[in-house]
Structure 1
């Protein structure tokens, strides 16, 4: 998708400014800009037309970067500044970053400029959203404060000796306790009994205090609801300075208390959102490098297994290495799912198999005081969903059950099939046959008002630091995405039961067979493996060569084009993100050769970071790292077909 932005260039060289803008537009960015050289011109531009982003040269004779940052701070605008300069030394660059610059890009290496600009535009947008949320919080606080100040207060005066007598109480008391002033004058005890039993002693003692008092207590209103009431009292004296009574006000602050609770909940949600945002940036950053490492480990493990006989003593050790690599890849996917960076990768799954594997891991981590009662119906129909997400919801449900049983207990896991028609209770039934998964515990259970909010994001009954409030909301979102339903039952003292229905696969999907090795390639089928990570490229080339392809490894796109010019190539297996030539130009250059060369992309990045691939028309096929040998061979075979 084309990005639009208005830029302010602090650049004393028209040629350099033109070069930067041309580079951005060449990368499919729709940018407008103003070039300035002085502080006064900068202030004028910030006042008249605030930019989305500032790009500054590192050496400006009339306006250096620290001064420009100071001007930006003085305006109150949250506009990021990126330094684009020649060689100025690491210490100087670090000093500019500490002063407030968001990034530093060398002019002779502008390949980092577009990612940096896009990142800063996205982060600035997020900061503006958070600022709006904070402003909304401030507005809510002010609104509720005004509401509280204009409530009808109850004004009263009591004579205390020899027994309490109501000398005056305002009519607003009727709405609060259901008794008229006349009734309370005849029976002052009714004022005391209007307070909750736990608050009556404090309420009564405040009447006799020689000091001003302020308390918040519970009162039972005529409609049966419990109101939060603020009581303020001062002692009343006679002419001899003896305390003879008390005067005070009662103010219904129920809305104010609820507003404060709402404000605290919103602030907690904001903090959680900011933590998730940080986690998302971290997850996306590590996914590529981590998946490359896992790809090398798994790839060479696969290659080694191919060469070992079935009874070799090392096979079990290497299979353990391979499983560990797969678990690492699954862990990365789950982290990205939690951060909303990993799209679903549906596949045909045996629910019983996924449950069995997940419980094997969970049994080792939950402790000996937790027992499992597992009843998995044989011959379940398959379902179509992302394996990592199914594992995630099983883990979330079981971990929640463990938290509800601090002294130990039993977690029951049952699978079955059910047939539901369109008139059934299930909303949006997408299939007549469902796989039913029930997870039940013997924990302390939840009251109805907690069950009502259990699937809401950030809702948690755990103490600070003990939960994110995202466990069941993640379960709900995953099941909804899979066109399924989820129901929650719980009662205090009776435990909790989660019932999940997943639509069974259509009959044609159920018959998906285990993938066999593809047919051998035609003689002299030539493939170029292009990746700046030589180890990953070497793994892929070894797999392809073993399958009969003529595979060559190249670590730059320019070298790949040169090789293509020398002799025809059937397919290029290329990494999405590489230094040098961008992917769009690379694919265009391949097509200009006139050869029927296919392109298969590979990447360890989350899918949302593949904008570069998506800019090229034609939806290029892509394989995610780490991949197994069979998956690679099938995808290559499919591309060549």
Structure 2
């Protein structure tokens, strides 16, 4: 004990505990001197300062010693500082491991469900687009078609929130002007809240741009705004500020300073008891049906994947401020990702002969109809093994293969690999609801293969077709 506190034995003899200059408090001394402590031989944990001002954790035990007519208190102790620090590190690692395992299991379950839902949504959204194209722009049913497509997109966003937990893809980035995305999200939320709730935005003093996936930024902002609106209830205010740290003066703002977006509400605030868990997965204080407790977890995961951060401050009864920081894109630094050709549906393009492979009957029907709507000739197949035989035959005249990935007998990746092994280098489009399939197609190293996420729109499948046919 003396060694840990860096004091000599001689310095202690004949002195009271409060004279040792190691930080004994009156409460600690009283506890050590207490008869019940001494009689029980109980260990007491003491936080004391060594002579080098380092805080040490000492497990001390006191006992009385009688020498003649004098009665002394002898204190022995063990330095527990390093042991306790090790225990805390192990405990933290165990918590992280349990969370990682839980996230992995949930991700696997969600991935399986997402595959089925993505097929369903492909049929719903695809047929809505086909109907919209067939009835004409001025048809009264166009509004209903639009509602179906919008509802389908909301379902897609919900599925991707679950499947992207802990698996944040930062590809497909582009230059984003922050104010425009914030204003769009504000308008979406504003249309769904009572008129008594005021939600407004303060424009930034200068142009703010970031490099990100626009759907990721949209997802963060929608979560923060929805939480803020729910916090203020039927009446209240929500304020969105962009780069509030400049206070209107951008002279001192450098490219190294992050873009800051603050969402401020005057709601009930966050109880300090819950503050430490606010970003924990599946933790929520909302009533049933109001949220699953993953929104803030995902939002911070996304922010950090871009080198940013999401934090908050709150005073109970006065509201909360959530602060999103993202790396600022310097002026004039345009990304090649922003200059990509969107590959719209091209007029006058020669019709291609396309083989479309999917084991889901509804997706197969819908996808074939969409391809035909684009002016191409399509043959449908639900059997990937038969597709290999057809494409590798001497009389095959197909220009392009479009295939699902998760199928019985062969995956789409295995289908493409099987063709390559046979020397058939037909351009291929892999469609899947699993983001990992994109990585797999990239690992093939083929210049004439690309990926489209399910559910896909008419424009997305058209872009992929045009890209592959242009090679």
Task: Give the TM-score band, short-chain normalised.
Answer: 0.7 to 0.9
What are the superposed Cα offsets for residues 90-120 of structure 1, whole Å, 9 maximum, x if unpaired?
A: xxxxxxxxxxxxxxxxxxxxxxxxxxxxxxx
8 Å Cα contact 2:403-2:431 kept in structure 1: yes
Aligned partner of 2:289 in structure 1 is none
Aligned partner of 1:287 in structure 2 is 114
Match for residue 501 of structure 1 among 304, 308, 327: 327
Aligned partner of 1:268 in structure 2 is 95
Aligned partner of 1:599 in structure 2 is 428
**Correspondence 1:196 to 2:196:** no
8 Å Cα contact 2:343-2:466 kept in structure 1: no
CA distance in 2, matches of 1:507, 1:609: 21
Alignment of 1:199-598 (within 5 A): 199-205=28-34, 209-236=38-65, 244-340=71-167, 342=169, 344-359=171-186, 372-377=199-204, 380=207, 383-394=210-221, 412-415=239-242, 426=256, 436-439=259-262, 441=264, 466=283, 474-480=301-307, 497-503=323-329, 506=334, 516-522=344-350, 525-560=352-387, 561-562=389-390, 568-580=397-409, 582-584=414-416, 586-588=418-420, 592=424, 597-598=426-427
C-alpha spacing 1:254/1:639, structure 2 compared with 1 (3 Å)? same
Moved more, 578-587 or 532-541: 578-587
TM-score, scaled to structure 1: 0.56
C-alpha spacing 1:273/1:345, structure 2 compared with 1 (3 Å)? same
> Which structure has the larger Rg?
1
Q: Secondary structure at the match of 1:521?
A: coil
CA distance in 2, matches of 1:577, 1:208: 68
Matched pairs, number: 440
Aligned partner of 1:633 in structure 2 is 462
CA distance in 2, matches of 1:631, 1:173: 68
8 Å Cα contact 1:380-1:416 kept in structure 2: no
Task: After TM superposition, give the deviation of residue 566 of structure 1 in Å.
Answer: 5.2
C-alpha spacing 1:200/1:629, structure 2 compared with 1 (3 Å)? same
Aligned partner of 1:69 in structure 2 is none
Q: Which runs of 5+ in 1 are unaligned?
A: 1-152, 155-171, 427-433, 447-453
C-alpha spacing 1:183/1:490, structure 2 compared with 1 (3 Å)? same
TM-score, scaled to structure 2: 0.73
What are the superposed Cα offsets for residues 343-377 of structure 1, whole Å, 9 maximum, x if unpaired?
A: 63324545334334545677799999997552234
C-alpha spacing 1:461/1:599, structure 2 compared with 1 (3 Å)? closer
Task: After TM superposition, give the deviation of residue 397 of structure 1 in Å.
Answer: 6.1
Task: After TM superposition, give the deviation of residue 216 of structure 1 in Å.
Answer: 1.0
Task: After TM superposition, give the deviation of residue 509 of structure 1 in Å.
Answer: 6.7
CA distance in 2, matches of 1:233, 1:601: 73
Task: After TM superposition, give the deviation of residue 545 of structure 1 in Å.
Answer: 1.7
Q: RMSD of aligned C-alpha atoms? A: 5.0
C-alpha spacing 1:502/1:302, structure 2 compared with 1 (3 Å)? farther
Moved more, 629-638 or 508-517: 508-517
8 Å Cα contact 1:348-1:383 kept in structure 2: yes
CA distance in 1, matches of 2:342, 2:441: 34
8 Å Cα contact 1:383-1:502 kept in structure 2: yes
8 Å Cα contact 1:299-1:629 kept in structure 2: yes
Aligned partner of 1:62 in structure 2 is none
C-alpha spacing 1:435/1:228, structure 2 compared with 1 (3 Å)? closer
